[in-house]
Amino acid sequence: MTLKICRRIPARIKTMEFNWCKKDWSTYTERFKAIRDKCGTKLDHCDWCGHKFVFGDRVGLAQPTKGRNQVLCTGCAEDILTGRRATVDQLPDVLPGYARTSTKEQRADLEAWRKEQIAPVLNADPLTKFKLTCGCSNRFDWWEMYRCIYCGVFYCKTCAKVHFGW
């Protein structure tokens, strides 16, 4: 049986297949971090969604059919094991496209999405914690997001690399 997971990045859709996945592989502790840092492998975040681990988090491990093992948060590991997000049809709708050839309705959808995305920033106290939704459908704290000054959209670190060409 092949396990799969998909994620939408603004420029493309990434799909990986896995041979096996263990949801509760280890606990992220100070000792775990020290050992990994000493070996030169920083495993402080999920390889799939970029979620930063905090001490006490359960960490999953999965072996893809190609490439190195992936360290995962429990949410991504659960998605792999249950088959959620295994196909493009199961991904939530994300940022509507904008191009020179887009229609007025598509531009209106994009503008509505921008207003919906930035509403928490405009209506909240800056010292409170609130999360923004990136185009890849993951939610992040507002200070972890990058905003494009041209299109006005907030991106997570992974999507920002693609959008800005870093």
With CA atoms as reference, report the closest residue to 18 among 88, 92, 58, 76.
76
Last residue of a domain, one of 58, 90, 122: 90
Last residue of a domain, one of 31, 63, 90: 90
Query: What 3-state DSSP class applies to 142?
Result: helix
Does one domain contain both 21 and 61? yes
Predicted model pTM = 0.51
What domain range includes position 134?
104-164
Does one domain contain both 60 and 115? no
Query: Is 110 part of any domain?
Result: yes
Task: For 53-89, write each residue's pLDDT tens digit.
Answer: 888 888 999 999 988 888 888 888 888 888 876 665 5
Does one domain contain both 77 and 111? no
Query: Is 97 part of any domain?
Result: no
Average pLDDT in the chain: 77
Give the range among 59-73, 117-131, 141-155 with minimum mean pLDDT: 117-131
Residue 96, pLDDT above cutoff 50: no
Q: How confident is the model at residue 127 (pLDDT cuts 50, 70, 90)?
A: low
Query: Is 47 part of any domain?
Result: yes
Task: For 4-14, write each residue's pLDDT tens digit.
Answer: 887 766 656 67
Does one domain contain both 16 and 82? yes
